[in-house]
Amino acid sequence: MNDTRPLIHADGEVLAALDPSVYADSVADHAGWAASRLQAPLELMHVIDRRHGAAAGTNLSGSLSLGAQENLLQELADLDEQRGRVDQARGRLLLDQARDRVQKGFGLASQARQRQGSLVDTLLELEAGVRLFVLGKRGEHADFASGHLGSNLERVLRSVHRPVLVASRAFKPPARFLIAYDGSATTRRCVEMVCASPLLQGLACDVLTAGEASPEAQEHMDWALAALRGAGFSPGALFQAGAADAVIAEVSKARGSDLLVMGAYGHSRIRNLILGSTTTQVLRSCLLPVLLLR
């Protein structure tokens, strides 16, 4: 069955999800860069998720007298209200700083929005008007020592249907990007999306297949190279045997890549980049920003 989905959504905004983590500045910079390249509206958003730890969820049954329970619950409610005001004030400051940053760095005016609820649910609610999501690799509570990814990021990547740009810890304007490609229909669509979008136009480009250069693999590679050349790119072709996550990390470093592009929900080795543990491994080990295309 032919895929009738539009290659790209050209009329949406770039939506950056910010939190008070060390990635906040980088997310703002990546979003500003993407919005300027796409000539798209930019929205900066902070979502306060306070479902956990609220006073209403405290179980005091049987542990205190009735009067003591009432007094403690009131104190907890007061603390929760105060915490809510602090969270909102911190969110406003975060958004104000990000707006100032993209204005100074990219000359862009941006909209700022603060919401309460689940990040994933909020992004899904707004998705129809979005062209590109931008998120940090880790949130404010992520364990950097163990290399864990933000739990929200993993949930977002498995839920949304728009492209997602996962910001690295520091921003560098991309000059060269690497496409992970295996010749499947999904990764072909990824190449077609790169060709159809202005986001990466004018940048140096490499196409990587994690495997040997068999006649079939070479035929698939020739198609990708021809498509990219037809869109004005001058791509390099790379074959390297090995596990996809290790190969991508090694080749991207050797080629001086500034951005990794992967197609979501692929097949073969690339399928594992999204559906299996390799996704986490690539995002953990790769120091580059990663553009995931749907």
Query: DSSP class of residue 52?
Result: S
The mean-pLDDT minimum among 83-92, 102-111, 220-229 falls in 83-92
- What tokens were used for 31? 């979003």
Chain segment 155-210, per-residue pLDDT in tens? 888 889 999 999 999 999 999 999 999 898 888 999 999 999 999 999 999 999 98
When pLDDT is cut at 50, 70 and 90, the band that residue 266 belongs to is very low
What's the pTM value of the predicted model, to 2 decimals?
0.84
With CA atoms as reference, report the closest residue to 288 among 197, 187, 188, 206.
206
Task: Please spell the DSSP secondary structure of 78-139, one letter per residue.
Answer: HHHHHHHHHHHHHHHHHHHHHHHHHHHHH----EEEEEES-HHHHHHHHGGGEEEEEEESS-
User: Distance between CA atoms of 280 and 275, rounded to whole angstroms?
Assistant: 10
Instruction: Find residue 46's DSSP bridge partners.
Output: 18, 114
Q: Is residue 42 predicted with pLDDT exceeding 50?
A: yes
Instruction: Find residue 269's DSSP bridge partners.
Output: none
Chain segment 160-174, per-residue pLDDT in tens? 999 999 999 999 999
With CA atoms as reference, report the closest residue to 119 among 47, 189, 54.
47
The mean-pLDDT minimum among 124-128, 138-142, 198-202 falls in 138-142
Domains and CATH numbers, the chain: 13-52+86-167 (3.40.50.620), 176-293 (3.40.50.620)
User: Distance between CA atoms of 90 and 85, rounded to whole angstroms?
Assistant: 9
* Rg (alpha carbons) of the chain, rounded to whole number: 22
How many CB atoms lie under 10 A from the CB of residue 97?
A: 14
pLDDT: is 235 or 145 the higher one? Answer: 235
- What tokens were used for 190? 């990824």
Give pLDDT, residue 133.
Answer: 97
